[in-house]
Amino acid sequence: MILKALIFSNSFALIIALLLIFMDRVINNYGPCTLTINNDKEVQARGGTTLLRNLFESKYFIPSACGGKGTCGYCKLIVTEGGGSILPTEELMLSSAEKKQGYRLTCQLKVKNNLKLHIPEEYLNIQEYEGKIVISDPVTSDIRRVGIALSTEDEITYKPGQYVQIKIPGSGESDYRAYSMSSCPDEKKQIEINVKLIPDGVGSGYIHSLSVGDELDFSGPYGDFYLREDSHRDIICVAGGVGLAPIKSILLHWQRHNLNRTLWLFYGARSTEDLYDHEIFAELDEREAGLKYFPALSEPDEDWTGKSGFIHSVMDKALPGDVNGEAYLCGPPIMIDAVTEVLVSKGVSDERIWYDKF
């Protein structure tokens, strides 16, 4: 009796799955559609797939950092015609003003008919690159340092703190994943990224499976999170875990160009094993008079002699109350929120705080 019930249950689940596939491929197949971009160019799109995917397939590279989940809000564009009503999955990521202007999340909006949209000029300059893995080294139990050399004569120009999107073969609807560059922007023929392996993560699993010599495609650069160089204020950098990547890029650029600005580096991790690249920063701290380095562990090992506790508490004690600085934060949302509160209490205004939550 139990066996019959299991067979019936599995058969029913299979029928439902087949029906969903049928609905997606047949009923939701809206056929070819036309995208009109900036009232100038027209490209063909596949109806029934997201606007973001169609744009990528037409070589229009739009910022995106959440794998198509609708949680980062980076892929929003103004759709002037054909977008229909705003979806529930877009509501939280669009302000009232953005809704009135016609902004939509391109990773959520499926193309069902002809669309007219506006793409900002800076997005039109984003390029696609072919790369080859030249470094794939574990730096912790779940983070790898991955070096990617450009396979062609092209060079990539980016600002310290920006990110690229790696193409993930065969991953379906949202086949790009965002990773911040940890390398110095002066190295235009090669970039480095830090990739944390996420359980069942499509993107991180793919990149961790690659070996030296393997090829991949990526696009970039993306992002408003980058070092502002038209300033003489102190640079306050706060990194949590793998959020170190863009912060390291900022630090390397600061060092390479001898920027005459004090750089505060607050780096938080759980244990010594998670505090990768600590030796590099400790050595720089001894050599560079303008660098003030504060590593901290929330679950310190017995032999740890440095700061203990959460990084926002360490920063609160170390940072003077009258600091004239601007801040760059990268790490988990709870860390970003706590650090922001401390910075504001120290007189750093919201408009001088840039962050990248993940």
Peptide linkage before 221 cis (omega within 30 of 0): yes
Task: Indicate the pairing of strand 291-297 with strand 263-269.
Answer: parallel
Bridge partner residues of 224 (DSSP): none
User: Position 336: which residue type?
Assistant: I
Q: Residue 335 sits in a domain of what CATH number?
A: 3.40.50.80
Same domain (yes/no): 252, 281: yes
Please indicate, yes or no, if residue 227 is contained in any of the structural domains. no
At 311, give phi and psi (nearest 5°).
Answer: -65, -30
Same domain (yes/no): 302, 287: yes
**Per-residue pLDDT at 278:** 97
Q: Residue 105 sits in a domain of what CATH number?
A: 3.10.20.30
Same domain (yes/no): 281, 335: yes
Q: Which ranges of the chain have pLDDT less than 50?
A: 2-10, 17, 20-21
Q: How far apart are CA 222 and CA 212, in angstroms?
A: 25
Residues 6 or more apart whose CB falls under 8 angstroms from that of 260 comprise: 232, 290
Domain count, the chain: 3
User: Sign (positive/negative) of CA torsion 174, 157, 58, 103?
Assistant: positive
At 29, give phi and psi (nearest 5°).
Answer: -85, 105
The pTM is what? 0.86
Same domain (yes/no): 351, 265: yes
Task: Indicate the pairing of strand 353-357 with strand 325-331.
Answer: parallel
User: Position 139: which residue type?
Assistant: V
Same domain (yes/no): 240, 332: yes
Task: Indicate the pairing of strand 291-297 with strand 307-308.
Answer: parallel
Please indicate, yes or no, if residue 112 is contained in any of the structural domains. yes
Question: What angle is formed at CA 244 by the lines to CA 92 and CA 333, rounded to 5 degrees?
Answer: 25
DSSP string across 258-272: T-SS-EEEEEEESSG
Of 193, 213, 59, 219, nearest to 129 by C-alpha is 219
Q: How many CB atoms lie within 10 A of CB 292?
A: 16
Of the residues 222, 251, 271, which one is the last residue of a structural domain? 222
Of the residues 92, 122, 152, which one is the last residue of a structural domain? 122
Same domain (yes/no): 86, 55: yes
Same domain (yes/no): 262, 317: yes
Q: Residue 162 sits in a domain of what CATH number?
A: 2.40.30.10
Question: What angle is formed at CA 82 by the lines to CA 79 and CA 85, rounded to 5 degrees?
Answer: 80
Same domain (yes/no): 350, 259: yes
Sheet containing 307-308, strands listed edge to edge, beginning at the edge strand earlier in sequence:
307-308, 291-297, 263-269, 234-240, 325-331, 353-357
Q: Which structural domain range is residue 188 located in? A: 126-222
At 170, give phi and psi (nearest 5°).
Answer: 65, 20
**Per-residue pLDDT at 66:** 84
**Per-residue pLDDT at 14:** 55
Please indicate, yes or no, if residue 76 is contained in any of the structural domains. yes
Place of tokens 């794998």: 67
**For 300-358, what is each residue's pLDDT tens digit?**
988 999 999 999 999 999 999 889 999 999 999 999 999 999 999 999 999 999 999 88
Please indicate, yes or no, if residue 334 is contained in any of the structural domains. yes
Say if residues 313 and 345 touch (Cβ distance below 8 Å).
Answer: no
Same domain (yes/no): 241, 328: yes
User: Position 282: which residue type?
Assistant: A
Please indicate, yes or no, if residue 26 is contained in any of the structural domains. no
**Per-residue pLDDT at 339:** 98
